[in-house]
Structure 1
Amino acid sequence: MALLVSLGALLACLCATNAMTAGFMKSPMSQMKLVEDSAELHCEVMGNPIPEVQWWFIEGDEPEETFTQLFDGARQEQVRINATYILHATSAIYFANLSLNDSGTYECRASNDPDRNDLKKSPKIKWIRSQANIIVFEYPFIVTTPREVVNNTETTVRLSCNLTNPTSPVAGSYWEKDGKKIENSANTEPNVVAQYTISKTDLQSGGVYYCVFLTSPKVNSSIEVKVLPHVKAYKHSEQGNENDKGVLSCKCHSYPLPTDWQWFKVIGDKKTLITNGTERFEVRSTPDESILSIGELDIEKDAGDYECLATNEVGSGSDKIQLRVRSRLAALWPFLGIVAEVIILVTVIFIYEKRRKPDEITDDDDSGAAPLKSNAATNHKDQNVRQRNCN
């Protein structure tokens, strides 16, 4: 029995030796935000055993301040808390859609005392605390000129923003287009007016422009530049085989994107609207693309010109596609042509050889062995005549 008591005391000493009080590795940082913005605070704590982390909201001033513990889903799901306890404690609290009432002091508390949550006992180790402030400002009023640009055909357009009531001193400004900073648009002067000039209103210039003022926090306002739909066919000439499926496609990248797509069959000056789901036609459209599918292509009915038309709040734009439908036998024509050429070539060679051989045989008989034999006989006769004369 005494041995067990000694062993237990030894284990208790070892645990006490390895124990470590909680300490902050990362404390939350104060932030300044605008109404309807979001905010996030982080807190990391080490200790052995791993400490528990809690978040509290402090309202009022001392000595009348009040403390409210925050849980995941508090303030009608506006508050989200995520915590992990591996090696050390990590916790983050997230606030969505901030309002002026969210301004105040937020406190990260941590403790690894076993009796930290026992209200009947005084904790041996106090909770350690780290605080940060979130200050929420009303959004300042920015006057934009013009409020929007709609299909402006002028050579240049000047966009202007006037920050009337900045929340803090202005350190400069710059412009963005569709969320990306525009090169050479930055201004380091502490001006409350920012201007940007568009040299030409076209497909490339359409979009949403933001004037951004370098205050604390940053503030911005937007100006929309709207242009007509710029429709572009994926291919201006498409080919398909008879009884196969034909697919025609058009795209549009202008701003604002189209709200409606239409397809037409064009015959001369007459355009016939193609209704989705009728006969063999199927139309599938997204804001930036439309696809016309034609089932079982027919040479007589389906070949010809087609027009895709996109419409947005500014107006309409279109492009044309020519569809060629080939017979299923069309693929055999090149092969049949080659076979015909081979047959004709073989026939010509055969006829040529047939006519050439008799002429060659006759020529050989006339100038070949017979003349040689005659010459030999003549030579023998001449030799005999000479011998007789000698006798």
Structure 2
Amino acid sequence: EKNITLDSATRIELSCRLDNKYSHLKSFQVTWKRGNETIRHINKTENSWGIQLRILDNSKLGSYSCTLKGEEEISAVFHLQVPKIEGKEKNIVSYEGDTAVLVCKSSGYTPIAWTWYMINGSEQIAINDSLMADKYVINRIPTNVTHLKIVKLTKEDDGAYWCEAAFELGKSKGKLKLKILSLMVPLKPFLAIVAEVVILVTIIFLYEIYSKKKEKHAEEEKEFDQVEQL
């Protein structure tokens, strides 16, 4: 299988070449398909079969396969796709009151436009930083990278975010998850240690008081015994 990335309209040729280790195969039939649809116009050269495609929009994207059937069956698959976005399924952790920056990148390709979405239940809501400048800042420079800055984080900001890159041949998305923690979370281990220390100090203090009372009581009994002897 081979992935072929395309971001704009182009002409492309896909070719299947029979490897030398299959040179013993003499009689076979070659079929090209796009999905389940058979493509009939095939260019043939020696031990090679190809198709020429004119990709004008995303309707021509998808999976193309060539299959050689004979004594053995050999297949090759080509996946034509728009550029993928770096940052898919990335988890980001931050704290209430802080600022979080979500980043998506298109390596080697420049999108026509970027759009950020936040998920509200099953609904995707486009983030308009010009209308909510006190909450969101979107940086689109350089053009193949986009940054979404979210300030004054609250629990309501917790959830999934999508970045969408628009190319001439279609759109590609990346998903990021933002986890907002309470400020008490990083303090919990420290508070647990402090609590243990307080308990230990209290036990020692109570033990000291008990020991002193016991010693004092023992001394009083000793003095009482001495008085009786007199």
TM-score, normalised relative to structure 1: 0.34
What is the CA–CA distance in structure 1 between the aligned matches of 2:123 and 2:185, rounded to whole Å?
30
1:146 aligns with 2:23: no
Correspondence 1:322-361 to 2 at 5 A:
322-328=177-183, 331-352=186-207, 354-355=209-210
- Could you tell me which residue of structure 1 aligns to residue 78 of structure 2? 201
Q: Structure 2 CA distance, aligned partners of 1:199 and 1:284?
A: 41
**Selected match of 1:248 from 102, 106, 111:** 102
- The Cα shift of 1:243 comes to 3.5
CA RMSD, Structure 1 to Structure 2 (Å): 3.8
Residues of 1 paired with 2:160 and 2:87: CA distance?
A: 12
Task: Tell me, yes or no, if structure 1 residue 233 matches structure 2 residue 91.
Answer: no
Q: 2:137 aligned to 278, 282, 307, which one?
A: 282
- Seen in structure 2, the aligned counterparts of structure 1 residues 156 and 357 have a Cα distance that, compared at 3 Å, is farther
> Which residues of structure 1 form unaligned runs of 5+?
1-143, 158-197, 203-225, 364-391
Cα distance in structure 2, aligned partners of 1:262 and 1:361:
79
- Bigger relative CO (Cα 8 Å, ≥ 6 apart): 2
| One-letter amino acid of the counterpart of residue 130, structure 2 | G
Aligned equivalents of 1:261 and 1:300: distance in 2? Answer: 26
**Tell me, what secondary structure is at the counterpart of 1:348?**
helix
Q: 1:271 corresponds to which letter in structure 2?
A: Q
The question of whether the paired residues in 1 share the 8 Å contact of 2:88 and 2:175 is answered with: no
TM-superposition CA deviations, 1:328-384 (whole Å, max 9, x none): 565544433322221012112333455567779999xxxxxxxxxxxxxxxxxxxxx
Mapped partners of 1:151, 1:234: distance in 2: 21
Compared CA separation, residues 357 and 274, structure 1 to 2 (3 A): same
With over 3 angstroms needed to count, the CA separation of the structure-2 counterparts of 1:259 and 1:331, relative to structure 1, is: same
Report if the CA contact (8 A) 2:161-2:176 is conserved: yes
**Alpha-carbon shift at residue 318 of structure 1 (Å):** 1.7
**What's the TM-score once normalised by structure 2's chain length?**
0.53
Report sequence identity in percent.
28
1:166-177 → structure 2 map (5 Å cutoff)? none
Amino acid at match of 1:290: T
Structure exhibiting the larger radius of gyration computed from Cα positions:
1
Residue 150 of structure 2 aligns with an amino acid whose one-letter code is I
Distance 1:346 1:156, change over 3 A: farther
* Corresponding residue for residue 169 of structure 2: 314
